[in-house]
Amino acid sequence: MEKKTILIIGTADTKSDELLFMKSCIEAQNGDVKIMDVGVLGDPPFTPDYSKHDVAKCANTTNKDIIALGDENQAMTKTAEGASILTRKLYDEGIIDGMIALGGSMGTDLALDTAASLPIGVPKYVVSTIAFSHLIPPERISPDLTMMLWSGGLYGINKICKAVLSQACGAVLGAAKSTQKPHEGKPLIGMSSLGKTALKYMVHLKPELEKRGYELVVFHTTGQGGRALEWLAKRERFAAVLDFSLQEVVNDIFESVVTSGSNRLVRAGEVGVPQIIAPGSINIIDLPTWQKPIKRLKDRPRHVHNRLISSVTLSVKELKKAAKHISKKVSNSKGPIKFILPRKGVLEWDREGNELHDPKTLNVFFDEIKSNVKPNVDVIELDCHINDIEFVNKVLDIFDEWVKQGIIVKGIQ
């Protein structure tokens, strides 16, 4: 097997022992290594492959000027800019096959930017003293980033630290050897769904889209899934987006932690990707099961999905607010957009006889959407549930017509 080269990123003036240990771990497994020094003030006791001066040059500045900023946050931000540009350049030139970075809060801040500079399919690992911490904004986490908690890594190298670093080095090299990078071929269709229990349309749509020469990519809308969908949509990776699960938008409006951020339902429209939208799961707010319920929501009808996530229903007032917010987002789309309203329900739990069944309240949302979207949004009402085959058939009718019109690129058989 061809040797793979891993880029190790860290502050070589303060973490030289750790960086050189990582280098030895990767080389012992028949991998090659390049080290990038992202320190600012000190000089390393060894010669890295890419110095802090090389990093600064990529940010159109010098290390001396970075130091002259006189502010550690500004200095690290500028260094991160150079490191990200240099990392992408090394990948584009075929010099590296993956990256691993280590650090505390400073190093992690920079590492998130360097990881984001690389496309999906390129192994990107961050070993951090703040891995999985609430300090890390979810929107800065690349869709295929792997993080590991750097236990015992604050000061000096030790047995615990070595155990963590050696695992991480083996993981990134193994990933570089085995990864199957997304390749050119069948056009991708991005779809959102809340699992396969609450929303079931993908079961029927996947084989039908594959027959037409497309590959379906389904994102689980529990926060990070929606972020990944938006990340890829912004980079125009999709021939079309079928966004049928929108409760992440509601979660964001009403300040649930299960959110994809304010850019949810925005990125595809910004770049003009054709969208078919439906308000799947729009009548619930998701909350962590293990947290004490928010006082204003504790008496709402509740569906406990598991020990991690639960859902409660929205009030009429909240649904009206959500409808106006969503209407504004979709109306700003620069591309073609259809908005399907399945009048008989938007998730399995709101079917007649189930615990969240409340058609009167849900109809308030539908009516608000119709009243608030701009003319560029074509609203289609259906007398069915979102999980009924009639919904699937309508989606395929729209999809096929758009392919016929050349709005969606034709699939590859």
Q: Which amino acid is at 160?
A: I
Return the pLDDT at 139. Answer: 84
CA–CA gap between residue 119 and residue 181 (Å, rounded): 9
**Sign for the pseudo-dihedral over CA of 351, 355, 356, 361:** positive
What architecture (CATH level 2) is domain 5-178? 3-Layer(aba) Sandwich (3.40)
The three-state secondary structure class of 170 is helix
Q: Yes or no: say if 101 and 115 are a contact pair by the CB < 8 Å rule.
A: yes
DSSP state, 105? H
Beta bridge partners of 329: none
Quote the tokens at residue 403: 């392919």
What does the CA dihedral 102, 103, 109, 112 come to, rounded to 10 degrees?
10
- H/E/C letters for each residue in 397-412? HHHHHHHHHCCCCCCC
| Tokens 């409340």 belong to residue | 358
- pLDDT on residue 342: 97
Q: How many Å apart are CA 122 and CA 4, to the nearest integer?
A: 12
**d(C-alpha 98, C-alpha 178), whole Å:** 12
Q: Which residues of 295-312 are buried (b: 16+ CB within 10 A; e: fewer)?
A: eebeebebbebeeebbbb
The residue ranges of every structural domain in the chain are 5-178, 188-405
Name which of 395, 190, 409 is nearest 276 in CA terms: 395
Pure H helices in 10-158: 16-28, 52-58, 63-68, 72-92, 105-116
Give the model's pLDDT for residue 134.
84
Considering only CA atoms, which of 9, 199, 190, 165 is closest in space to residue 87?
Answer: 9
Residue 252 C-alpha from the chain's centroid: 15
pLDDT tens for the chain, 413 residues long, are 689 999 999 999 999 999 999 999 999 999 999 999 999 999 999 999 999 999 999 999 999 999 999 999 999 999 999 999 999 999 999 999 999 999 999 999 999 999 999 998 999 999 999 998 888 888 889 989 999 999 887 777 899 999 999 999 999 999 999 988 766 689 999 999 998 888 999 999 999 999 999 999 999 998 889 999 998 999 888 999 999 999 999 999 988 888 888 899 999 999 999 999 999 999 988 988 888 877 787 788 787 888 988 888 888 999 999 999 999 999 999 999 999 999 999 999 888 888 778 888 899 999 999 999 999 999 999 999 999 999 999 999 999 999 999 999 999 98
Q: Give 301-370 as a DSSP string.
A: -EEE-SSSEEEEEPPHHHHHHHHHHHHHHHHT-SS-EEEEEETT-SSGGGSTTSTT--HHHHHHHHHHHH
How many helices and strands (H and E) does the chain possess?
13, 14
Nearest to 163 by CA among 142, 176, 149: 149
Question: Which residue matches tokens 């058939």?
Answer: 393
Amino acid at 68: A
Instruction: Tell the CATH topology of 188-405.
Output: Rossmann fold (3.40.50)
State the Cα–Cα distance between residues 221 and 193, nearest whole angstrom: 6
Return the pLDDT at 1: 64
Is-contact 55 67, C-beta < 8 A? no
Q: Measured between alpha carbons, how far is 126 from 149 in angstroms, rounded to an integer?
A: 9
pLDDT at 257: 85
Alpha helices per DSSP H over 212-315 = 224-234, 247-253, 267-270
For the chain, the residue count is 413
Nearest alpha-carbon partner for 326 in 294, 385, 384, 371: 371
First vs last Cα of the chain: how many Å apart? 32
Check if 5-178 and 188-405 are the same fold: yes
